[in-house]
Amino acid sequence: MSVAVIQARSVERLVTGQPTSDGAGVKLTRVLTNEWQQRLDPFLMLDHFGSAEASDYIAGFPDHPHRGFETVTYMLQGRMRHRDSRGNEGLLKNGDVQWMTAGRGLIHSEMPEQEEGVMEGFQLWLNLPSHLKMCDPKYQDIPNAQLPRAHPASGVEVTVIGGSVDGTAGPIQSEHTQPQFWDMHFHTEPATFEQALPMGHHAFIYVYRGSVQVLGGTGPQQVSAERMAILSMGDGLRLQASAGSKAILLAGKPLREPIAQYGPFVMNNRQQLMEAVEDFRAGRLS
Ligand code: MN
């Protein structure tokens, strides 16, 4: 049930992530930083963490609050334990996904449960529309074995975390932002992948192994590893990649609402941010 792509998206901009640290000192690359929040609305942030050095991740992310958006954590390799003030607890292992809706707020910790070896994964922040920012928090662990795989072309395997590929729907579905979150693995060379995407949705890919060519209307454009390619508007995407390449795609329907962020709180205005800080200080987020 592939839909023909007429206006394939091109690379509008290539972005190199910023090395930074967060939590109690976890080294990571912030791929989607604040400056792209409007352009990539409804996506607020994307971090890529990956290291074989325990000192880069061992400190973890001790207790901290969130309000006003959702997080999707995709663990490629390693073990991380989540605990929150609502009594939820879960262990994220190789390939598992965690989907958390912070809504009006909670306090949680995300701590490595390993003292050596590789820890690698992604954390995405997905905005909520204004009328849902104060909704009840929700939390869901999706084990790797429950993530559906699509094979939209020869040599291409897509793990569908959110949205759908050729009718194969992933566990993360949201009516308001309609997020697509795909992990694309290219096994044979050259593997080509074409997929329709709603015209007005914001989209980007992030290559984390090998390199990917975006076959857009302006000709092939190369995206190498650890680069985010912001995609132009269009009704779909066409990608070609060498064997062993891996990339994630994120696409979603923009909310087009004001974005006000103060650290772990993302609301629509300054007043709401001050309320979030007050509520946190007064112990109302736990
Ligand atoms: Mn967090």
How many angstroms does the Cα of residue 263 sit away from the middle of ligand 1?
A: 11
- Distances in Å between the Cα of 104 and the Cα atoms of 3, 63, 145, 153, 265 are 39, 17, 31, 42, 10
Distance of CA 65 from the midpoint of ligand 1 (Å): 7
User: What's the confidence (pLDDT) of residue 258?
Assistant: 98
pLDDT tens-digit readout, 197-224: 999 999 999 999 999 999 998 889 999 9
Residue 3's pLDDT is what?
66
Residues 259, 249: Cα–Cα separation, whole Å: 23
Distance (angstroms) between ligand 1 centre and the Cα of 189 equals 38
Question: Does 281 have pLDDT greater than 50?
Answer: yes
Q: Say if residues 92 and 47 touch (Cβ distance below 8 Å).
A: no
CA distance 275 to 183: 37
Sole residue written with tokens 């973890």: 60
Bridge-partner residues for 238, per DSSP?
194
Domain ranges of the chain: 11-281
Distance between CA 176 and CA 183 in Å, rounded?
22
Cα(22) to centroid of ligand 1, in Å? 10
Q: What pLDDT was estimated at residue 2? A: 58
> Residue 153 is inside which H or E element, if any?
strand 149-153
Distance 111 CA to ligand 1 centre (A): 10
Q: How far is the CA of 64 from the centre of ligand 1 (A)?
A: 6
Confidence of residue 170 (pLDDT cuts 50, 70, 90): very high
- d(C-alpha 40, C-alpha 251), whole Å: 8
pLDDT tens sequence across 110-149? 999 999 999 999 999 999 999 999 999 999 999 999 999 9
Q: Can you name the CATH fold of 11-281? A: Jelly Rolls (2.60.120)
- Ligand 1 centroid distance, CA of 55 (Å): 19
Per-residue pLDDT, averaged over 33-61, amounts to 96
Distance 125 CA to ligand 1 centre (A): 10
Residue 157 pairs in a beta bridge with 185
Determine the distance separating the centroid of ligand 1 and the alpha carbon of 110, expressed in angstroms: 7
Residue 181: how many CB atoms within 10 A of its CB?
Answer: 25
Ligand 1 mean position, distance from CA 89 (Å): 13
